Structures are given as C-alpha cells and as structure tokens.
Amino acid sequence: MEISLLNEIIIIFGLAIAILFISHRFRVPSIVGLLLTGMLAGPYGLAVVSSVAEIEVLAEIGIVLLLFTIGMELSLKDMWQIKKAVLLGGSVQVLVTLLAAALIATYLGRSPGESIFIGFLLALSSTAIVLKLLQERAEIDSPQGRITLAILIFQDVIIVPMILVTPLLAGATGNGGESPLILLAMGILLIFLVIAGARWIVPQLLYQIVKTRNSELFLLSIIFICFSVALFTYSTGLSLALGAFLAGLIISESEYGHQAIGNILPFRDVFMSFFFVSIGMLLDINFFFQQPALIVVIALGVISLKAIIAGLATIVLGYPLRTTIMVSLALVQVGEFSFILSKFGIEYGLLTWDTYQLFLAVSVITMAATPFIIHASPHIADSVMRLPLPKKMKSGLYPVKMNGQTDKIQLKDHLVVVGFGINGRNVARAARVAGIPYVIIEMNPDTVLSERSKDELIYYGDATQEAVLKHVNINDARVMVLGISDPVATRRIISTARRLSPKLHMITRTRYLQEMGPLYDLGADEVVPQEFETSVEIFVRVLKKYLIPKDIIETFMAEVRADGYEMFRNLSRESSDFCDLKLNLSDLDVSTIRVEKCSYVSGKTLAQVELRKKHGVTLIASCRGGQTSSNPDASIRLCPDDVLVLLGTPDKIAEVTGLFVAPDTCSENEDSNKQ
C-alpha cells in the first residue's frame, strides 16, 4: 500500500512538472496547471491514481499550512497603514459580491443557506495569481496595484469568519448538527482562550527554543504549535483551518515570525500542490462536455459581476476611472480560498454534487482567463477613457482642484512632479530647498488631503488625462518628473505631455532597460533605469574604496550612462583608462596602526620620522582622543595611543610596522621601575 501511494505521488509530480512547464510557456497560472494535473490523473481522467483518499489527507495538510502562513504573514501594522483601502474597499467588494450572488442564487431556487454560501465562494479572488501577475508587470506599487493588494488582504482575512459561519449556514438549511448559537459561542470562547494562553505560553516556549540555536528544534516546535492548535479547534467542533490561522496569528505577533515563515514555506507549497491536484481529481470532465455553453456563459457572468462590483469598491475609495477599470479587471476570477471553502460546503451539505462540479468548472475558466484579462486591462481602460464620458466619472469622486479652487494654476517655469511616492517626495523636497517652484499630481485622495494640510501644492488627478496636465499649466512648465511605478501610464503621460508642450523637459524612471527605447521614442528627454542606476551607484562606492580618483570615477559614470548604458549591456566594451588605473593601484593598501609607548616614533614629529622619504609610506590620517585629522602636516607630533592611517604597498607597510612597536626592553624597564 505504501509503495502504491509512493508510485502515485511520483506520477502526480511527473505530470505536474510537464503540465506546469507547458502552462508557463502559454502564461497559464500554476494553479490552473495543478488543477489540470488532477483532472488528468484522477478517476474522471486517465484514472492513473486510485489513492484519492490518501491524496486528500495530504491536501488537508496543505490547507492547514496555508492558513498557518497567512496568519503569520498578516501584519496588523501594515494593514493599519492602508486601513481605508483594506477595510472600506475590501468590505464593499466582499459584501456587495456576496449579496448580489446570494440574490441571484435565491432567484434561481437555492435555499437561503446555500445562496449565502455561493456568495462566499464568488466573493473571493486569487491572491496567488493576481499578485504574481502584478509583480511580473511591475505594478505592485502603482495605484491599481495598491488597491488590488488591499482588497486581496481583506479577502484573505475574511476567509476565517466565512469558515466559522459555514456550519451556521448548514444549520439554516436543516443540515447542521449543533445549535448555531452554541457553535458561535464555542468559537468566540476558543479564540479568546487560544490568544490569551499563547500570549504568555508561546513566546516563552519559543524563547527557550531559540536560545538553543538548533534549527531542527525550532522547525519542529513551529509545526507542533501549528497542528496542536489546529487539532484543538477541530476537537471543539470547529475547523482545522481556523486553528491553523490562529496559531499563525499568534506567532506573527512574536519576534520569531519571519524565521518561522521561511522554514514553513517550502512545506506549504508542496502540500498545497496536492490540494489543487485533489480538487482537479474531483472535476468530472464529462460534466464539462455535457453542457459547455452553460458553463462558459456562467463564467462570463461571474467575470462581469465581479468586475462591476470591484470597480464600485474602487470608486468608493475615490480613484479615477482608469484605475477603477484596471482594479476591477484584476479581481474577476474565483480564488484559491474558494476551493478551500467549497470543501466545507460539501462536508456540511451546502453544495450538491452538480453545483460543486459547476463551481469547479467555472472557477478553472475564470482563473485561466485572468492573465489575458490583466494583460488587456490597460488597453481596455484607454479605450473607455476615450469615450465622451463626464469629467466627474473620469476623475473620480474628488475634483481635480480641492478647497474650492478650480482655476488653472498660474505658475510658470515650474517643475511638475507626477506621483508622490518615495521618488516624488524626494524630488519635491529637493525642489523646495533649492527654491524651485513645483506642483504635484497624485492619484491617492488620502495622500492629497494629508499633504494639503501641510501646505503642499498637490492636486488630485490622473496625469494620463489631458485636462489634468493642462490644469497644472503644463505648457509653461520647464521640467516634468515622473516617479510612478505604472509603465503603461508612464507611456501615456509622456505622449500626452509632449503633444501639449513640445519644449517640456521630461525625466522619468523605469524599472527595466528595455523600456528606455519606447519612452525616448514617445518624447522623454531623460530615462533613468532603476536596475542600472542601482548598479552604477554600487560600483561607484566600490571604486571609492579602491581609492580611484574622483575625476576618473565621474568620467567612468558618464561613460557608463552614455548611449543608453551600452557599456553594461555589452560586456566586451571596456574603458582602457579605467583598466590601466586598476592595474596601477591594485598593489596599494590602506592600513591602520597604533603608536605604542617607547616606540621609535613616539614623541617625534612626522618630519623627523620621514615616513614618505625613507620608507615610501604616506600618513593620510591620524586619530587622537576621538578626534580625527586628515592629511596631517609634517609638524604633527606622534604620541602614544595615536591611531594612524597609512597608505603604501603591503611590503612597505610591513617594513615600517616595527617603528610603531615598543621594544621588549621598554617593558623590562617599566617592571624594574615598579619594583
């Protein structure tokens, strides 16, 4: 039996590797690939795997580890920084989707408990798929990336109350065993007991374990805590997943959370693979082919419904139409947590087998379509923005100019800063110090209101819109700096700004080197590639440590930046001056040495010692009593305990070391004087 299970695990891994490789080539999410693996290997596919029950046990471990890591990754401090987007945007998206889906299900004849549970399933989106795609597109820090992340965080947290409420919904349909009120009371009591007990027990336990510096002991302790709390909650009639989440939340509040996450993640990923494979095994391919048109229509309906409601949540937060469209299209799929929740629905009788099959088929379609929808979202948003829609709809809930001022600003020869993130703040700060007039365009309404209270000249608006650029008097501006992280929006802003103001000098950042050419073609005057500028700055600091002269470093920097960083892109190109300098200075060494009492140099001036003339060594700095003197002159007197910084070849420095060391006779004379 054990060998049979091992054989089937090997088959699953082999199929998964092949399917995931093909999925990667066609940009299909890994989750969809794992689901397809289960469909092929399972009883409704090729039937090469028969130990479905054993695979489901491994899948259950994956669910526990997933909820455990979510609890550990949940940072209440980080959530508080984007609390409005998480709490307001997330709650609007989840609650409105839940209600809309429940009403539709009720209209179609489902029971109240089942209808609400279907709303649970459709309200969640895929954190794994969406975040991976946003990272690949370098849009995590863009407005649409931040709002999408905030809503996904809320969904990840709300899954726990949904799991807790699921048995109550079963009770509402007559399928539950225990009284809903008793179950709810037990859940609340359990949460308080676990949190209160772990506040004192777990931190002390982990502290004693960490003191041993034994990584195996630490890993076993983390797993023990996870499964112990999960089993405890299960024994009280609640779920393993809820207990795992609580255990992760407890550890996240300790100082050992990051180390624990690093140890658990590899195990979680392996067991979660079994979970998605086990879900795929349950999907009946024949069911899909019996009514493909119905499944596709329902999938399109789910995508449309979720897009509209996610867009509504973004509008409530005050963001403009372009951001609203991109956020709404990023959240159209059914999420991986919906699969976890669906298992509880089957367990408590909230889903019939046909409904479950329909849910699985629709979910796979929405997930598979997500990469293509997100890729097309900027083009869809641009097409919608070209429609003759009201300005209020395009700009969001807030006007472009606040505090009653709606006229175009009267600045001239000024600087326009687009985006008030880290880069925008630094540019604005430097402009303020230099006395350069500037104006800021920012799409986060909360940031605009906060900075306006500090008398910052900042305006709310989407800089891709011509009206917004005209409002900040782009025609009379001298320079525009783009510090945003949205590559598509950057291209649109540059194109629009160049058309409005041919003389405007535009400086923009970009994450990747391949973006430089298109941005220059659109009209950018200077493009700063983030990945190469970081390399330049690091290497400049390396050169300084090798004592390369400042003028040579500046020449090298200019040469690197010339022709679009051609030197970094073409490694065969070298600077002969730089290579010669490296060879000339490679033998030099910088060494520190302390002047000992009774040594040869103690009490003598630098001129008397003649370090450079006689020994070929240069004194470049000295430190006495915490005070450092650079490039000391010849009259400086060397005293005991002075720390000297010497420059010279290693052999020359080794020769002069004896001048600073006290002879043995000095210590003998001191001993005799004491006697």
Convert the pLDDT of each residue in 106-162 to its tens digit.
998 888 889 999 999 999 998 878 877 887 777 877 888 888 988 988 888 888 788
Q: For the residues of 85-113, what is the DSSP string, one character each? A: IIIIIHHHHHHHHHHHHHHHHHHTT--HH
Please check the confidence at residue 399 and state whether its pLDDT lies above 90. no
Q: What is the pLDDT of residues 65-105, one digit of tens each?
A: 877 877 777 665 666 666 778 888 999 999 999 999 999 99
Q: Look at residue 644 and give its three-state secondary structure.
A: strand
- Determine the pLDDT at residue 176: 45
pLDDT of residue 229: 82
Between CA 323 and CA 183 the distance in angstroms is 42
Fold of the domain spanning 398-524: Rossmann fold (3.40.50)
Helical H runs in 173-256?
A: 180-211, 215-235, 240-252
Residue the block writes with tokens 């050992």: 256
What pLDDT is recorded for position 581? 46
pLDDT at 400: 42
Which of 512, 303, 314 shows the shortest CA–CA distance to 295? 303
Domain 589-674, CATH homologous superfamily name and number: Regulator of K+ conductance, C-terminal domain (3.30.70.1450)
Between these two residues, 297 and 4, which has the higher pLDDT value? 297
Cβ count within 10 A of residue 316: 16
* pLDDT score at 571: 46
For the chain, the residue count is 675
**What is each CA distance from 655 to 523, 604, 615, 640, 649, in whole angstroms?**
61, 18, 8, 20, 10
For residue 431, give the H/E element and its range: helix 422-434
Residue among 273, 91, 239 at smallest CA distance from 160: 239
CB-based contacts of 432, cutoff 8 Å, min separation 6: 438
Residues 584-603 have pLDDT tens digits of 455 677 788 889 988 989 99
* Domain 2-383: assigned CATH number: 1.20.1530.20
Give the H or E element holding residue 452.
helix 445-452
Q: What angle do CA 215, 220, 226 make, to 5 degrees?
A: 130
Give yes or no for a contact between 322 and 314, defined as CB atoms under 8 angstroms apart: no
d(CA 287, CA 352): 14
Helix (H, G, I), strand (E, B) or coil at 628: strand
- Contact between 278 and 38 under an 8 Å Cβ cutoff? The reply is yes
* Mean pLDDT over the full length of the chain: 81
> What pTM does this model have?
0.68
Cβ burial of 579 (10 Å; 0-12, 13-18, 19+) is: exposed
